[in-house]
Structure 1
């Protein structure tokens, strides 16, 4: 029998659809190729692993009280184009998103996002009583509906999520479109610009948030060490923005937030430029190979600026994923991301990519 405690529950925290991450590799006697979570095909940077192992010797001690050393390393990685006050680090890009919403959202506010997209944009917004407003990407190419977003803005709009490259579609926002959008959006709205996959983008008119932040726009750029740097298991990410916005958000940054292993691994990864270059080359080579093979097989796919493809399988998406799993290849149905019927496939190393193509042909 209920004791009435539900009367003090927040109504917007009633059970709803929760974000479900990709599945782990199941225990099996046969080789399983995991192409379902957009992880780094080369593993992790040797410098990051060495730094992590050394840090593990001191896990009995509290880590750094702040993220200052990692922020200093990020300043160097960005060629001193930003200052140490403009970075904020956290336990994954997802936690950074949560932190930003906690800083800016109150009950009754509105948050705009564009499906298909990363599910936490809407799920995390509901945690703080916001009303998520979906302005879907435009088909068939999954382009940003700039006019739709601008028309949806009200006096309750606090945050707009933009993603480039976008997960799960692989689409991006061309510079001219982003320029126009930022010139027209009200100046009292925060733009959260998710650029987690920025290293893989090779379109001539692709642009990160960096020039807009340097120009003083109210843009917060989300980044992660999970993809390019191969540290998904360490759960570490960061954002950069104007010093005014960053110093405001820092008021809710907890002391001792980052584990010592994560701090050292991230700093080590930033120092391994060769690993990043090899990762990007592997993804670009794999993209070219899979594009040729998909064309030959005749499977419908979309051009991508990420380290993954979204495809339209010839059979129902979960049956498609199950059939591939039977042949040792894990892929990700993305109905939960707002793309019913579609499947996301990570670009792996050559062995993994060939295993995928062989499984598709069978």
Structure 2
């Protein structure tokens, strides 16, 4: 009987910290991280310390993932409202007294310069999931309306900065929660149809509405130029169309097998702009070709599939909605980045997860994966 009252050993006490991790999710993460390191070594070879910094940022993301995975989902839910509130307050402060660079007011000096919109990438799905958790089993149309208001307040503030890329990511993260909460297709399809009609109208009348004197409602001139350049990049091949043209040339020249590691001419002759950040996918496709792109897409598909499986197995409404939204946020990152580099979407400055250089994006990635790991780990510990 005395053994029952023996103190647990040190290993017995710390073991839960190092167990319960989701193996397939870790495998998908390491698969993509390997692609990212190889690509950054080549694309950033003559770009200072980009490779070393990228590896350091990955280690930082892993540390953040490990720490966040120790936080139980119940604690994450308690942080939803404070984090969302702080994020919105900081966005308002940015609009009033933010730091302006290159015509955009996206940063706030609070002793150190921060970009408050990054907070909303995580705070938004947390807040939306918290909202629908409180209305479990009795969700009404009014609840969807309130959720839409909570979503559009920060998105509107981010668009005003302007930062269309981050606004798309924050909006999509919140909308995914609303969709998974049970938003009817009868409400979604009309919006999709209106969007399709609008896009068709823009394509058909591009020659007229892309004239310099024509103003587009709710969009600034540079945003209008991005759309018009997408429709016909050859109208300004050495200016605003240069990015798209060079990206498509690099992707096409890679062929099936690619030109080989460190042998990309478009990359190393510096024809690809932003080759370590927004347009790194073009550098990757040039050197590794269709086969390499297929491997990269396989990694993203596996990550998304595993994330959705974690969401499906989640025990509560909050964890299910949160895991689903974060997982599809990775899809949005990858789809928009590859789409803009390939010339099928406007250039909006969205990084490619694990591949693009950027400390802030990597930290956000670590937070998202840490939350997924927390949900999966909590589920495993409950089952055992």
TM-score by length of 2: 0.31
> Which structure dedicates a bigger proportion of its chain to strand?
1
> Which structure dedicates a bigger proportion of its chain to helix?
2
TM-score by length of 1: 0.32
